[in-house]
């Protein structure tokens, strides 16, 4: 059997693996897309804060062994409120005021948080300034630009006076590169669920971005407990025992809006049994450690340790022949897969 890479949908014979894998490629795509739609159905609809901006890094991106907790948008203009709510915290790089959080050092730079109710909070970070006055002061002095746009006293001291009501589409601040931006102007957009104490992938709640491009699986490895690694490739020989399945996969958006992004989900099967399902939908904190959804909850430290790849699952392999399948999927339902038969000695 040979390894095969497919960017769905496609046709042709497939190995007899799990019931999901036995479905036609188009059916697999529909099943996976339906599962994600159900997961997002209970969350309110939001809009992206920088319309038309490119995505430099997305949620779950492996950032040197740590998971990205938001989406880095690259663009200019104003970051707009993704939905109606109240600004409850803000920081303007040293300014303070009622509701300000500037006294807490943060890599977020200039930022503001909007409470949308039901425990959901959106965060707009690494901005150039708050309000709609832009980075430069208006002719009337500090904050005059914000007043002209109807934000009144909200950003006159460099921070919003919380609670400050905003409607969807109201300007939060100018795109910038404050904090740990590491790039040009833009906005770092995050969504936090206060009730469940977890970060939520903004792509789960925001309007879909154009995406007709399938992810790419660059390579997959079986890593033994002694540290040795073998590629998931046809007739590759590995020793029996426990192996971590490490996958290097990236995603892209249509129209050049993003590349080199993290996939939304990685699924690993061995002999038809699912041994790993890494879902980059939420990241939570437990006892001071970040946890990611991988067939349950797993420490993010281990999942993201094989930078820039991911440890997507674990397998106990016995002597004989084994079929390993890896599927990488984006949030739009596009997917890629590799299948290889290996020898376990």
Residue 44: per-residue pLDDT: 59
Residue 179: per-residue pLDDT: 83
Helix (H, G, I), strand (E, B) or coil at 157: coil
Residue 178: per-residue pLDDT: 87
H runs (alpha helix) in the chain: 25-40, 144-148, 300-303
Helix (H, G, I), strand (E, B) or coil at 323: strand
Residue 2: per-residue pLDDT: 31
H or E segment to which residue 172 belongs: strand 171-175
- Asked if residues 126 and 186 have their Cβ atoms less than 8 Å apart, the reply is yes
Strands 237-238 and 335-344: parallel
Largest CA distance in the chain: 78
Residue 133: per-residue pLDDT: 59
User: pTM for this structure?
Assistant: 0.80
Helix (H, G, I), strand (E, B) or coil at 110: strand
Nearest partner of 47 among 187, 252, 255, judged by Cα:
187
Q: Profile the chain (345 residues) by mean pLDDT over runs of 10 residues.
A: 33 37 45 47 77 94 95 95 94 55 67 94 94 48 38 53 90 90 86 95 94 96 94 94 97 93 97 95 92 95 96 94 97 96 95
Residue 43: per-residue pLDDT: 54
Residue 286: per-residue pLDDT: 85
* Phi, psi at 203, each rounded to 5°: -65, -15
- Alpha-carbon distance 109 to 283, whole Å? 22
- The count of C-alpha atoms lying within 13 angstroms of the C-alpha of 102, restricted to the half-sphere facing its C-beta, is 16
- Alpha-carbon distance 300 to 59, whole Å? 13
- Asked if residues 1 and 15 have their Cβ atoms less than 8 Å apart, the reply is yes
Tokens (6 digits) for 265: 């989900």
Domains of the chain as residue ranges with CATH = 6-37+211-344 (2.60.40.10), 54-204 (2.70.70.10)
């Amino acid at each position: 059997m040979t390894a095969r890479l497919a960017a769905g949908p496609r046709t042709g014979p497939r190995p007899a693996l799990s019931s999901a894998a036995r479905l036609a490629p188009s059916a697999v795509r529909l099943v996976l897309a339906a599962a994600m739609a159900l997961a997002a159905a209970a969350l309110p609809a939001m809009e992206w804060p920088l319309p038309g901006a490119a995505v430099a890094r997305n949620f779950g991106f492996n950032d040197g062994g740590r998971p990205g907790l938001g989406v880095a948008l690259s663009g200019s203009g104003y970051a707009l409120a993704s939905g109606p709510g109240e600004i409850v915290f803000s920081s303007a790089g040293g300014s303070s005021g009622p509701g300000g959080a500037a006294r807490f050092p943060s890599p977020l730079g200039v930022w503001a948080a909007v409470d949308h109710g039901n425990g959901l909070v959106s965060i707009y970070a690494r901005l150039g300034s708050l309000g709609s006055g832009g980075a430069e002061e208006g002719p009337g002095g500090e904050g005059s630009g914000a007043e002209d746009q109807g934000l009144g006293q909200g950003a006159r001291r460099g921070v919003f006076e919380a609670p400050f009501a905003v409607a969807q589409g109201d300007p939060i601040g100018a795109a910038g590169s404050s904090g740990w931006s590491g790039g040009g102007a833009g906005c770092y957009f995050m969504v936090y669920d206060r009730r469940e104490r977890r970060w939520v992938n903004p792509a789960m709640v925001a309007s879909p971005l154009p995406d007709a491009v399938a992810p790419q699986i660059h390579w997959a490895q079986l890593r033994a407990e002694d540290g040795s690694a073998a590629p998931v490739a046809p007739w590759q020989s590995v020793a029996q025992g426990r192996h971590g399945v490490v996958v290097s996969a990236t995603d892209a958006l249509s129209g050049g809006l993003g590349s080199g992004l993290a996939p939304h989900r990685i699924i690993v099967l061995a002999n038809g049994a699912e041994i790993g399902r890494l879902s980059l939908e939420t990241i939570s904190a437990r006892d001071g450690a970040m946890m990611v959804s991988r067939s349950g909850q797993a420490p993010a430290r281990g999942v993201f340790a094989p930078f820039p790849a991911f440890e997507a699952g674990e397998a106990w392999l016995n002597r004989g022949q084994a079929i390993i399948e890896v599927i990488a999927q984006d949030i739009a339902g596009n997917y890629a897969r590799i299948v290889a038969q290996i020898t376990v000695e």
